[in-house]
Amino acid sequence: MLGRLYENQNCSAARALEIVGERWSLLILRDALFGGTTRFSDFQRSLGVAPNILAKRLEDFIAAGILKARSFSPETGHREYVLTAKGRDLKPIVIALTAWGDRWAAPNGPPVVLEHEGCGGRVKQQLYCSACHDNPKLSDVLARPTNASRVAGRR
């Protein structure tokens, strides 16, 4: 079994995987981001995930600042889990993963479509260059080390 941490990796993707890369994590986020799911019982019903695993993922998201918990029933102590700005910023990742899944892992076609709420048009992600304002092809995108990676002595 792979470890959860990537201490030897000086890589933002590895750091992000430490937070959202466990099984069920992106599905929990999908339900929160697109389904408005906030309650434990609703996450469990939607996903069919074991309660102990769901509780751990939700607590990890709270610790990472992706969700915040607030009481919705003081009598029972039940909480709801609400996305923070940090959590909402994961929406493009779920959109990109969904688009990849639609293309390569959905033999019967996409099970959902992503639409612009304002006009109903289909939503697509695009690469964008902040310097020339072009939409570069994937093959034209490079990863170059920054000063931070040079200081760390790794790429």
67-73 and 78-83 beta bridge pairing:
antiparallel
Q: What are the domain boundaries of the chain?
A: 12-152
pTM: 0.86
Q: What CATH number is given for 12-152 in this structure? A: 1.10.10.10
Q: The tokens of 69 are what?
A: 């918990």
User: For 89-130, what is each residue's pLDDT tens digit?
Assistant: 999 999 999 999 999 999 999 999 999 999 999 999 999 999
User: Please, which residues bridge with residue 67 across strands?
Assistant: 83
pLDDT tens-digit series, residues 30-62: 999 999 999 999 999 999 999 999 999 999 999
**Token pair in block for residue 152:** 């760390």
pLDDT recorded at residue 2: 46
On the question of pLDDT at 81 being above 60, the answer is: yes
Q: What is the pLDDT of residue 4?
A: 63
* Residue 33 CB partners (closer than 8 Å, separation 6+): 83, 87, 88, 90, 91, 94
Nearest C-alpha neighbor of 92 from the set 132, 138, 33, 134: 33
Count of helices and strands (H, E) across the chain: 7, 2
Residues ≥6 apart with Cβ < 8 Å to 148? 10
